[in-house]
Amino acid sequence: MGNSEQLITANERPVNLSEVLAADGYVRERTQPRIGDPVYLCLLDLREFVARSAPRLKGAVVDYGCGGSPYRELFKHCSRYTRADMSGEANIDILLDASGKIDEPTGSYEGVVSFQVLEHVKEPGEYLDECFRLLADDGLLLLTTHGMFLEHKCPNDYYRWTSQGLEALVSAHGFTVIESVKLTTGMRGAFQLSHFVVEDFIHRRGTFGGLLARIFRRVYRVTLMPALNFIGKQFLRREGMISGDKHANVYIGVGVLARKSQSSLARGRAG
Question: Model pTM?
Answer: 0.85
Give the separation between CA 147 and CA 168, rounded to whole angstroms.
15
Measured CA to CA in angstroms, residue 90 lies from 60, 68, 87 at distances of: 21, 10, 9
Name the pLDDT band for 18 (thresholds 50, 70, 90).
low
Q: Which residues contact 73 (CB under 8 A, 6 or more apart)?
A: 31
Percent of the chain with pLDDT over 90: 61
Mean pLDDT of 85-93: 79
> CA 59, 116, 104, 24: dihedral to nearest 10 degrees?
-80
Mean pLDDT of 236-259: 77
8 Å CB contact between 226 and 36? yes
Average pLDDT of every residue of the chain: 85
Name the pLDDT band for 13 (thresholds 50, 70, 90).
very low
Backbone angles phi, psi at 2, to 5 degrees: -75, 170
Measured CA to CA in angstroms, residue 186 lies from 41, 76, 146, 223, 231 at distances of: 12, 33, 15, 22, 13
Mean pLDDT of 127-132: 97
Q: Please report the pLDDT score of residue 98 as a whole number.
A: 79
Q: Please report the pLDDT score of residue 25 as a whole number.
A: 84
Domain locations in the chain as residue ranges: 3-188+239-270
Give the separation between CA 2 and CA 269, rounded to whole angstroms.
27
Whether 64 has a pLDDT exceeding 60, the answer reads yes
The secondary structure of the chain, three-state, reads CCHHHCCCCHHHCCCCHHHHHHCHHHHHHHHCCCCCCCCHHHHHHHHHHHHHHHHHCCCEEEEECCCCCCCHHHHCCCCEEEEEECCCHHHCCEECCCCCCCCCCCCCEEEEEEECCHHHCCCHHHHHHHHHHHEEEEEEEEEEEECCCCCCCCCCCCCCCCHHHHHHHHHHCCEEEEEEEEEEEHHHHHHHHHHHHHHCCCCCCCCHHHHHHHHHHHHHHHHHHHHHHHHHHHHCCCCEEECCCCCCCCEEEEEEEEEECHHHHHHHHHC
Measured CA to CA in angstroms, residue 259 lies from 50, 56, 171, 184 at distances of: 16, 11, 10, 24
Whether 14 has a pLDDT exceeding 50, the answer reads no
Whether 201 has a pLDDT exceeding 80, the answer reads no
Amino acid in position 257: L
Whether 16 has a pLDDT exceeding 60, the answer reads no
Q: Please report the pLDDT score of residue 234 as a whole number.
A: 83
Whether 108 has a pLDDT exceeding 80, the answer reads yes
| CB-CB neighbours of 131 under 10 Å | 26
8 Å CB contact between 101 and 64? no
8 Å CB contact between 158 and 125? no
Backbone angles phi, psi at 254, to 5 degrees: -140, 155
Q: Which CATH superfamily is domain 3-188+239-270 in?
A: Vaccinia Virus protein VP39 (3.40.50.150)
